[in-house]
Amino acid sequence: MPIRTQRDLPSKEILERENIFVMDEKRAMHQDIRPIQIAIVNLMPLKEDTELQILRSLSNTPLQVEVSFVKMGTHESTHTSLSHLNKFYQTFPEIRERNYDGLIITGAPVEQMEYEEVDYWEEICAVMEWSKQHVTSTLHLCWGAQAALYYHYGIPKYPLDKKMFGVYEHRVMNRKIPLVRGFDDRFFAPHSRHTEVRREDIEARKELTILAESGEAGVFLAINQDGSRVFVMGHPEYDRVTLHKEYMRDKEKGLPIELPVNYYPDNDDSQKPLLQWRSHGNILYANWLNYYVYQQTPYEFIDTSLVLGK
C-alpha cells in the first residue's frame, strides 16, 4: 500500500529502503484516488521511532493511506526536536474542523500517574470526544487504550506489582469478529507497561467484546459494538529492538528492570532478539484499515453519526 507523507519526512527514506511504497504529496496529486485519511496522535517521547513503526504497520494493504501527525499543544516534548515537530506535526485545534477515516492514539509513558494528573489530559479527552463525530474508527494503543476505556466507559486501571515487559503468548477469544480474521489460535505480542485493565471490568460493559487475551499479560484486544473504537493493550507495532532499547536504557539508569520475557534467545541480552509478532501485528492493522475504516467510510466523508448511527 502506498503511504502518503511529506516528501522530507525522515522515516520516508527508511521505509523506501525496506521496499515499502511511500508517495509524497506531488505524486499523489496525479492519482484519481481518495486516500484513506488517518490522523496519528503521537504521545510517545521518541516520536520519530513511533512514526516509523506505525507507518510500517499501516503499509500492508492495497489501500492508499495519507497520514497526519498530531501533537498535544498542552505538552512540551523534550525528546524530539522542535524543528521536527513544527515541520511535520499539527496541533488538535488545527485539525478539529476536519474529518478522518481513522485515528490512532498511541501509548505514553505516563501510566503510573493518575489520568487527571497528566498535563495534557483535558486535551486528549477533547480529542476522544471529537472523534465521536469526526472519525469513523479509532485505534487506541497501550496507555491510549487504557485512557479511552476510562474516558468512554469509566473503566479504571490498576498498578502492577512489576512491569509487564516482554513478548507474551495470547489466544483468540472470538473468531466471528473481522478484526482477528487470519489470526492463529495462539500468537505473540509485545507489552511494556506498569498498569493493567481487568477483564471483569471490560466484560461488565455489554457494548465491549474481548477478542484476545494472555494468561500472563491479561486482555490484549477489545472492541466496541460498531467497531468505532478498538483497544490494544500492547504494542504490535514495535520493531525488533524496541524492547531491547527500553531494557538497556533502564538498566544503564540503574532502574529496577528484569529481562523482557520470551525475547532474547536463552535469555541472553547480548544475542539478537527474536521477532515473533510482526505477522500478527500486520494482520491487525490491515484488518482495522479494511473492515473498520475503508469499508465503513463513504467516498465523500460525511459526519460519522450518519455513517454509524451514533
CA distance 270 to 273: 9
E-strand ranges in 112-200 read 135-141, 158-172, 186-196
Helix (H) or strand (E) holding 91: strand 89-91
Other C-beta atoms closer than 10 Å to the C-beta of 310 total: 11
CA distance 63 to 37: 11
Catalytic residue from among 48, 196, 237, 246: 237
Catalytic residue from among 123, 235, 246, 280: 235
* Helix, strand, coil in percent for the chain, rounding step 5: 35, 25, 40
Can 237 be counted among the known catalytic residues?
yes
Can 125 be counted among the known catalytic residues?
no
Catalytic residue from among 48, 123, 140, 142: 142
Can 84 be counted among the known catalytic residues?
no
CA distance 109 to 116: 15
Decide if 263 contacts 167 (C-beta within 8 A).
yes
Cα Dmax for the chain: 55
As separate numbers, helices (DSSP H) first and strands (DSSP E) second, the chain gives 11, 12
Task: Look at the alpha carbons of 23, 25, 30, 36 in this order and tell me if their dihedral is positive or negative.
Answer: positive
Catalytic residues: 142, 235, 237
